[in-house]
Amino acid sequence: MEINQLYNEQLKQKLADSALSLLINNEIITRDDIINLSFHVGYMFTTESEELEALFSIKNNDESYYFAVQHDKLMMLTINSAQYKETIQYMKDNHPCLNEKELVETEHLKKRREKNNHILEEFEISTSDKLLCYFSDDEVSLRDIKDVAKRAVTCFFTVQIACDIANDSYQESIEFFKPLYDSFGLTDCLNSKEKRIYDGSYSEQDAIDMDWAYESFWALCWCLSLVDDITDADGICDCMEAISFVKGTNSIDEFLEKCTLKSKEEILDMHDLYYRYNWAINNAKVNPDASIGDLDSSVVIERRRALEWILTDIDDWYDLSLDA
């Protein structure tokens, strides 16, 4: 049975990422062009043999680039706008699934989508009824609570050093925190930016990014039941309260005594909400009539980073694409 995948946002993002990589690697566009791009899907469906077929375009100002996926393989096409539209119509005429308007989702995911869209509406944030949940419950599993705790404390220590970099006191800070990384058993837990902060090879941007990682830490603390709620994303976290979660602990086991990992259901619900926040922010960049309420875009992306990390097997959360 052929299945229309037009509303599969996660699949769209994977296609967009692959096409952008092709364009950048072939020096057709630069990374600086990405902010001006628009993405249009003509059709996208899975065949009876579960292979992906798709046709889509990426527009950069007045230039359009066309791509197709056949038998799960991506290729760039040399066609024009008229041929693109003709092909879409031909496929719709010959594949009835492409004319289906119903969203393909379980009742459980529908409830999650509707609940979170209701929150966006209350905050006067534009949303879409056709935006499916990014993850389904059966395709993800939570990381072990100790791994989450170690990621949280590693992030916290490195954020403190990044803050001290801004105050021109890196050397004093690194001398203070290096023994703590050792005593908490965190030296093998550093991600790419944290390693550069740790060994002194950081860039100015690394320090800025790690400063914002306070929000990633805050989201992990919510996952560990240390923070009551992170539904509101219109301002930065309470830094003094964040410090209190780690202050007075001398090992990861002591920190863990304060923590209880939330259920996969709760974390998936919150991740989906932040995915919708992220989508709204991106939508507002191309739709002047869209509203993001009081959302802080940096807060949204950093908290989503942590929520998505806990649901994936990607170790370095700076490798997550976080598209929406």
Per-residue pLDDT of 266-276, as tens digits, reads 999 999 999 99
- pLDDT recorded at residue 103: 57
- pLDDT recorded at residue 129: 80
Are the C-beta atoms of residues 317 and 150 closer than 8 Å to each other? no
Query: What's the distance, Cα to Cα, between the start and end of the chain in Å?
Result: 28
- pLDDT recorded at residue 14: 85
Are the C-beta atoms of residues 59 and 19 closer than 8 Å to each other? no
Q: What angle do CA 224, 230, 231 make, to 5 degrees?
A: 135
Q: What's the pTM value of the predicted model, to 2 decimals?
A: 0.75
Report d(CA 57, CA 67) in Å as an integer. Answer: 6
Are the C-beta atoms of residues 115 and 129 closer than 8 Å to each other? no
Sketch the domain layout of the chain as residue ranges: 3-99, 105-324
Q: How confident is the model at residue 200 (pLDDT cuts 50, 70, 90)?
A: very high
Bridge partners, residue 59, by sequence:
38, 64
Q: How confident is the model at residue 101 (pLDDT cuts 50, 70, 90)?
A: low
- Has residue 48 got a pLDDT over 90? no
- pLDDT recorded at residue 323: 73
Poorest-pLDDT segment among 36-45, 94-103, 120-129: 94-103
Select the more confidently predicted residue: 286 or 87: 87
The mean pLDDT value of the chain amounts to: 92
pLDDT, tens digit, for every residue of 59-88? 888 889 999 999 889 999 999 999 999 999
Are the C-beta atoms of residues 271 and 135 closer than 8 Å to each other? yes
pLDDT, tens digit, for every residue of 219-252? 999 999 999 999 999 999 999 999 999 999 999 9
Q: How confident is the model at residue 159 (pLDDT cuts 50, 70, 90)?
A: very high
Q: How confident is the model at residue 262 (pLDDT cuts 50, 70, 90)?
A: very high
Mean pLDDT of 11-27: 89
